[in-house]
Copies of this chain bind each other. A is one copy, B any other.
Amino acid sequence: MSTPSTSGRKDAQRNRLRVLKTARALFAERGDDVQMPELARAAGVGVGTVYRHFPTRQALVEAAAEHRFAELAAYAGTECRSRPELGGGLERYLTRVGEVLAADRGLSAAIEAARGTSETEPRGPALAELEAAIEVLIADGKAAGTLRADVTVADVYMLVGALSATIRTGSGDWKRFIDLAMNGLRTA
């Protein structure tokens, strides 16, 4: 509507991204109660286009989740390691995660709602990347003598999940959660 030409084949990818970003924004704002036609309208495309790129509402939510996840993974792999000599890369990482999630509780809610009763967590491609990055942060911490020797990626992953829930449900001060969690990971 504001952009003059809606274009053709070439920027199908651009459309996909547009939908994805609109979805993130709308979910962030209003949680799970966003309907497909409305979302399409907000993205400036027809519902059909949304469904072309994401065959199911759930698929769209998952893609939004993955999108945010990828950002978090990228952060873990770059900024957090930037000054390893300072130590505390892991803590900086968790804090960053907290900030992102806190700014975006609606999306978390939508993701949670979409999970429904499904038993398994979806494992997107960004996950492997994230795990590798966290591995490094853990190694740094152990090298600096600040982390317990038995800390694993699985531990951190679990704590991120717990942090996310804490923020989403507002069951407490998430900075305090990180504080306690880091304390739990540190050498006695």
Q: B residues within 8 A CB of A157? A: 171-172
The distance in angstroms between the C-alpha atoms of A158 and B186, with both chains bound, is 20
Residue contact A158 to B184, C-beta cutoff 8 Å: no
With an 8 Å Cβ cutoff, the count of chain A residues facing the other chain is 42
Q: How many copies does the complex hold?
A: 4
Residue contact B172 to A158, C-beta cutoff 8 Å: yes
Report the minimum CB–CB distance from A173 to chain B (whole Å). Answer: 7
Q: B residues within 8 A CB of A183? A: 148, 183-185, 188
Report the minimum CB–CB distance from A116 to chain B (whole Å). Answer: 7
Report the minimum CB–CB distance from A19 to chain B (whole Å). Answer: 20
Contact residue among B33, B171, B188 (Cβ-Cβ distance under 8 Å from A158): B171
Q: B residues within 8 A CB of A21? A: none
Q: Is A162 part of the contact surface with B, judged by Cβ < 8 Å?
A: yes
Q: Is A159 part of the contact surface with B, judged by Cβ < 8 Å?
A: yes
Residue contact B106 to A117, C-beta cutoff 8 Å: yes
* 5 A-B pairs with least C-beta separation: A158-B172, A165-B165, A184-B184, A31-B117, A161-B171
